[in-house]
Amino acid sequence: MDAFVFPGQGSQFSGMGKDLAENFKVAKLVFEEANDSLGFDIAEMCFSGSEADLKLTANTQPAILTTSIAALRVLLEETGYRPNYVAGHSLGEYSALVAAGAIEFGVAVKTVRQRGIFMQEAVPVGVGAMAAVMGIDAAELSELCQEAAAGEVVAPANFNSPGQIVIAGHTTAVERAIELAKERGAKRAMLLPVSAPFHSSLMAPAAQRLQAEFETVTVSPLTCPVISNVEAQPCQDETKVKDLLVQQVCAPVRWDESILTMKELGVDSYVEIGPGRVLSSLIKRIDRPAALKNIGDVASLIKLQR
């Protein structure tokens, strides 16, 4: 069985989606629809924007979503490929929901633009941070974070793969956790170049604002199950989608469990759709025998079709 997976923040780069839009009308139309929905030229930002502009959360989120859906539409048109399951890492869950027909693309791209703004404004720059910790298991790292918190917030935010967990919270608490992790044998523990402590309880104001944003969003029946970040289980109930997306803002991304869930369901082949190959790298560590493909540009499409 096959699954489509969609990347989140950190996969962006200047030039993403450009050759797809130049070579496939269906991809060009996606970028044009995004421009119309957002009221500014997100295509230009993807194709030739500065890395600094693309790193701004309010730009990153619609840029990656648009590039991912452009790649998806090309894949569907050129191959007729259809997945048994879809999943996305954080922001990528919105791409997965568009792929499953739950949310219209034009609505999704406006929603993630707002999501990015809400997340950035939830915590003043410098107050929150995230760090990658490698070589410590989840249970030990959770205990270590409780010890490092000292009245502040720090906790696991992304369970990416065995031995790779991202933590988030107050900057000072994250720094204490880094030092403790190093003392206790972590292979690596380092701050990440992000502007806010995503997927931590500090994001509660963003979750509240996103919930209000969803009041005008219509969710349609899903054509295939989405493995949600919050539950790491398949969801095909459109009435649960909004709640899961609101919870996702503050809850950890359970990516390793999501892949193991799909493996148990019989998935043995993954197509990463969108910029970069971050998820393929993670999946290789979680489910080594799985077949991995990707589409983010014309060259990867040609390789996938062989």
Q: Which two tokens stand for residue 283?
A: 């999946």
**Rounded distance, CA 27 to CA 153, Å?**
42
In a 10 Å sphere around its CB, with 0-12 CB exposed, 13-18 middle and 19+ buried, how is residue 111 labelled?
Answer: buried
Q: Is 199 a catalytic residue?
A: yes
Query: Could you say which of 90, 228, 258, 300 is catalytic?
Result: 90
Strand partners, 5: 87, 272
Query: Could you say which of 68, 161, 199, 200 is catalytic?
Result: 199
Q: Are the C-beta atoms of 122 and 203 separated by less than 8 Å?
A: yes
Quick one: which of 231, 288, 306, 277 has its CA closest to 71? Answer: 277
Q: Are the C-beta atoms of 239 and 259 separated by less than 8 Å?
A: no
Radius of gyration of the chain (CA): 18
Q: Which residues are catalytic?
A: 90, 199
